[in-house]
Amino acid sequence: MPDARPLVPRHRLSTRLWHWLNALTVIIMVMSGLMIFNAHPRLYWGKAGANSDPAWLEIGSTGNRGLVRIGSVEIPTTGVLGLWRDANGVERRRAFPHWATIPSGYSLSSARLWHLFFAWVLIVPGIAYLLWSVINRHLRRDLLPSRAELRPSAIWHDVRQHARLRFPKGQAALRYNILQKLAYCAVLLLILPLLVLTGLAMSPAMDAGWPWLLDLFGGRQSARSLHFIAMASLVGFILVHLIMVVLAGPWNEIRSMITGRFRLPPEEEDQATHPEGEVRREHLP
Amino acid sequence: MTIGRRPLLAGLAALPLTACDRLDGSPAFRSLLRTGERLTHDTQRLLVDRSALAREFGAGDLSTVFRANGNVTAAGPAYAAHVASGFRDWRVRIDGLVTRPLSVSLDEMRRLPRRTQITRHDCVEGWSAIGQWTGVPLRILLDMVGVQSAARYIVFHCADRFGATPYYESVDMIDARHPQTILAYALNGAALPVANGAPLRVRIERQLGYKSAKYIERIEAVADLGQIGRGKGGYWEDVADYAWYAGI
C-alpha cells in the first residue's frame, strides 16, 4: 500500500555529495591516523616530548595486560587496546587493534601514505563545501543557531525532548533542531578546522612557513595531543549521529541523504494537549 | 548451502577492512596515494619560503634526554677504531657533480665558519626532542667544491648499516643550501655522541628525522636519484616506501 505521507525535499545536492564523500574520508583518516599513533602511542603537552618525558596519555601493556593510562589513572583494556590478538590469533602489543587501523597489519609508512593523501580529500572538498554553504546561505539559514534558539530554556527544552526520544514531527522535521545545529556547527566550524590546523602544526615544513601554528597550539606535541582529542570528539559525534539516525527512522533518514527526499512524519494528533507543543512553536518560524 | 548468521555478519564487518588491505597492497592504488606526496611537496614549496627558518628555541627548552633512534652505532672494526681515536682520522669526501672534489677532516671542519642552533627534531613516529647543534653550514662546503649546474640533489652516504646496506639519504638543493642545514659535529655543547651519529650528521630542520642522516662519510652531488640505492633516494624510502619528501 503506498504511503500517503508526503515525500518532500530535505537535503540539497551539495550536502548529500559532501556528506558521503566526507563520511568515507573521515573513516579512512581516523583508521590510518590510529595506525600512525601506534608508532608512538604516547601523548605530551608542550613543544617536544619523547620516551623519557612525561606523557599524559599512553596505551601499552605490562605482562599479560593491555592498558590505557591517562594521567595517573590506569584503565585495563586487555584484548582491545595495548594487547590483543590479530586475525590469525597472534598476540600483538600495539595500541590500536587490527580491526581499527588502515592497514590492519603494522605499517607506519603505508598509514602515512593513506593519511596524507586523504587529507587532501578532506581539505579541498571541505573548504569548497564551506564556501558554497556561505554562498547558498545553507550555513546562515539552516546551520547557525538563532539568538532565540540559544536561550537556555530553548536548549533545555530540546534536551528533554531528545531524552524522551521525542523528535520533531511535521514541518518542524524539515529544520534542524538546536542540538543538531550545535553538533553540526561544532563539527564543521570547530572540530574539522582544528584537525586540519593541528595536523599542519605537526609538519616541520609548515612550522617554518607558518610559525603562528606553534604559538596557536602551544607547540608541536600539544598540537599532536589536540589532534588526537579532536579525532576522539569526531568519533563521539559519529557514534551519536548514527544512534540518532537509527532512533529517528533509519530508512527515511538515509534516503533523505541519498535522494534528498524525506517522508514527513505526521504532526501528532494530540499536539494541542501537549504543553511543549506550544513552546516548540515559539522558536520555529 | 547456507551460511550461519554470525559468520555472515562477521564476514560483512571484515569486508571493508579486507578491501582496504587489498587496496594497500595494490601498486596502482599506492601510486594514486603517492600523488598526495607530490601535491604536499609542491604546495609546501609554494607556501613556505625557501629560506624560511625552522623555529629556534632557548636553552630552557632543551630535552633532558635527546632520544637516539634508528642505528645507534656504526658497525665494524674500522668505526670502532675511529671511536677509539676520537675520530682523528675521520674524513668526509665530497664528490659527484662537483668541480673540485674534496676530502675534509674533522679538524678542518671545525676551523670553517660554524652555526649553532637549538631546534626541534621530529621523528616520523611522532615524538620530538629539542637539541642544540653546532656545525658547518652545508652550503659553505658546497660552494668550496663548486656544485655543477646539472646537480639537483645532494646524497649523504653513511657508515651505519641495516644488515649489509649502508644508510643513505638525499635532499634537493633548496634544503641542501638552506641556512639551517649544517653538518653537525656537536650536540648540546659536547662532541656528537656515537648514538646520535658521531662524528658528523646532517641537520635537515624542515623535514622529519630520517632525512637527517648520521655517521656521514661521503656527500655526493647527483643529477637524479635513479642510481642511488633502489632509486627512491633514501634507505627507508627504498625498503619501506616512506616518502622521499618528509616535510610533513
- pLDDT tens-digit series, residues B30-68: 999 999 999 999 999 999 999 999 999 999 999 999 999
- pLDDT tens-digit series, residues A55-90: 999 999 999 999 999 999 999 999 999 999 999 999
What is the distance in angstroms between the Cα of B110 and the nearest Cα belonging to chain A? Answer: 28
- pLDDT tens-digit series, residues B200-239: 999 999 999 999 999 999 999 999 999 999 999 999 999 9
Inter-CA distances, A17 with A11, A14, A195, Å: 10, 5, 21
Of B20, B54, B236, the CB nearest to A103: B20
Q: Does A86 touch chain B (CB under 8 A)?
A: no
Q: What is the DSSP string of A120-171?
A: HHHHHHHHHHHHHHHHTTHIIIIISPPTTTTSHHHHHHHHHHHHTT----GG
Of A110, A208, A224, the CB nearest to B24: A110
Please give the mean pLDDT across all residues of chain B: 94
Taking residues A121-141, report their average pLDDT: 96
Inter-CA distances, B18 with A173, B23, B25, Å: 38, 9, 11
CA A218 – CA A211 distance, rounded (Å): 11
- pLDDT tens-digit series, residues B170-211: 999 999 999 999 999 999 999 999 999 999 999 999 999 999
CA A42 – CA A225 distance, rounded (Å): 9
Residue A142 has pLDDT above 50, yes or no: yes
Q: Does A99 touch chain B (CB under 8 A)?
A: yes
Task: List chain A residues with CB under 8 Å of B206.
Answer: 204-205, 207-208
> Cell numbers of A29, please?
583518516
What is the distance in angstroms between the Cα of A167 and the nearest Cα belonging to chain B? Answer: 30
Q: What percent of chain B is modeled with pLDDT above 70?
A: 94
Smallest Cα–Cα separation from B219: which of B90, B95, B98? B95
Quickly state the pLDDT bin for A27 (edges 50, 70, 90): very high
Asked whether the beta carbons of B171 and B204 are under 8 A apart, the reply is yes
Inter-CA distances, B120 with A37, A75, A214, B61, B83, Å: 19, 32, 12, 9, 27
CATH 3.90.420.10 fits B54-240, yes or no: yes
**At B93, which amino acid appears?**
R
Q: Would you say the ipTM is above 0.95?
A: no
> Cell numbers of A23, please?
563520511
User: What is the per-residue pLDDT for A5?
Assistant: 80
User: What is the per-residue pLDDT for A251?
Assistant: 93
Taking residues B112-119, report their average pLDDT: 98
Residue A281 has pLDDT above 50, yes or no: no
Please give the mean pLDDT across all residues of chain A: 92
What is the distance in angstroms between the Cα of A46 and the nearest Cα belonging to chain B? Answer: 10
Task: List chain B residues with CB under 8 Å of A226.
Answer: none
CA A40 – CA A108 distance, rounded (Å): 10
Of A39, A42, A50, the CB nearest to B63: A50
Taking residues A156-175, report their average pLDDT: 89
User: What is the per-residue pLDDT for B12?
Assistant: 62
Directed axis angle between helix A250-258 and helix A220-248, to 10°?
120
Ordered by where they begin, the domains of chain A are 7-47+101-282 (1.20.950.20)
Q: Does A57 touch chain B (CB under 8 A)?
A: no
Task: List chain B residues with CB under 8 Å of A208.
Answer: 48, 52-55, 205-206
Of A49, A207, A211, the CB nearest to B127: A49
Q: Does B11 touch chain A (CB under 8 A)?
A: no
User: What is the per-residue pLDDT for B107?
Assistant: 96
Give every CB contact of residue A153 below 8 A, 6+ residues apart in sequence.
Answer: none
Q: What percent of chain B is modeled with pLDDT above 90?
A: 92
Inter-CA distances, A227 with A22, A48, A117, A187, A233, Å: 18, 15, 17, 14, 10
H-state helical runs in chain A: 13-38, 108-135, 138, 152-163, 178-185, 192-201, 204-209, 212-217, 220-248, 250-258, 275-282
**At B180, which amino acid appears?**
Q
Of A99, A103, A208, the CB nearest to B54: A208
| DSSP symbol at A191 | I
Q: Which residues are paired to A8 by β-bridges?
A: A262
| DSSP symbol at B76 | S
User: What chain B residue is nearest to A121 in terms of C-alpha separation?
Assistant: B36
3-state secondary structure of A279: helix
Taking residues A199-223, report their average pLDDT: 98
Asked whether the beta carbons of B129 and B63 are under 8 A apart, the reply is yes
* Chain B interface, best mutation among A112, A210, A226, by max B CB count within 10 A: A112
User: What is the per-residue pLDDT for A267?
Assistant: 74
Question: Do the Cβ atoms of B126 and A119 come within 8 Å?
Answer: no
- pLDDT tens-digit series, residues A168-196: 888 888 899 999 999 999 999 999 999 99
Quickly state the pLDDT bin for A284 (edges 50, 70, 90): very low
User: What is the per-residue pLDDT for A173?
Assistant: 86
Question: Do the Cβ atoms of A117 and B242 come within 8 Å?
Answer: no
Tell me where in chain B the CATH 3.90.420.10 domain(s) lie.
54-240
User: What is the per-residue pLDDT for A172?
Assistant: 86
CA A48 from centroid of its chain's CA atoms: 27
CA A182 – CA A191 distance, rounded (Å): 12
